[in-house]
Chains A and B, each alone.
Chain A
């Protein structure tokens, strides 16, 4: 049997008048008002966006560093199990996740579709490749940990990507996404067209995506009080002192699951 390609799935997924539509016919959007475009259009526009985006703070910007260190410190305590020896950062972009995740895992490979983002990644090129998250170019069970930081809300079919992540993971899959239950995040995601896909993500919906992707022992938490790219430095210093875990309404939702 011929493998189903991304394009075949795109063609088989008819544009919905109301927005995204799952293959089983259920809406994947939290509020029932999804972006009015089909998945392939969504993915194409996101690819164009990431090919031109230049307003991101560098990975060593103080606010980015504060954000990432806080997240990684929490992950180091919460990931569970033995420390991973190898990891894959899916949608690694300019490497802001990889740079700090090295505290948890010594060898991290990265892949991203955008050559512009990879060009600013500080990791050695020998650990990077350009790839489509729907079709990861890695053998089954290649990495102890496969993770993504703020990737899935830029993807038309997040469940397919999580399934690919689970395929390439030996043990754990980690997903970090914005939380639409956070009022500030919901407002931001509504106002910025390229971030509107974040409205699909809450602790509840992320758990569902990970479960349908075949993961087990799933733990989901709402965490964080500021964003790395928009928060002023002084404000981030204040917010950084608040507890990291904010039940239900933290700015981000983090899911950890094991390969089924």
Chain B
């Protein structure tokens, strides 16, 4: 198997289970409106004020599913 040791090597997740690779975060967008997202703790938050869906990070994996997203808290 090519590079299997690299593949299974523990990454920064071992130290912080909410850690997201910055390169990965840069290309992630809200699946509903395609706006960019920013990380707020264990959540990825859609930057579009009209959408604002919040996607959880579970076990180090972003759950980018609209049906599992939280709606924004309205003031």
Contact = CB atoms under 8 A, between A and B. Distances in A.
Bin chain B's interface residue count: 35 or more
A5 B61 contact: no
Nearest to B17: A125
A135 B21 contact: no
B72 interface: no
Interface string B7-37: 1111111000001110010011111111011
A138 B29 contact: yes
B2 A139 contact: no
A88 B59 CA distance: 20
Nearest to A108: B7
B57 to A, nearest CB: 9
Residues of A contacting B: mostly: mixed
Given A129-B28, A135-B32, A102 B65 contact: no
Contacts of B20: 126
A119 B63 CA distance: 13
Contacts, number: 90
Given A5-B66, A130-B61, A60 B24 contact: no
Contacts of B11: 124-126
B16 to A, nearest CB: 11
Contact of A126 (B1, B21, B63, B68): B21
B28 A126 contact: no
A184 interface: no
Given A102-B2, A125-B13, A113 B65 contact: yes
Given A60-B1, A65-B1, A126-B19, A102 B31 contact: no
- Interface core residue of A119, A126, A136, A139 (most chain B CB under 10 Å): A126
7 contacts: A6-B66, A102-B2, A115-B61, A124-B10, A132-B64, A138-B28, A139-B27
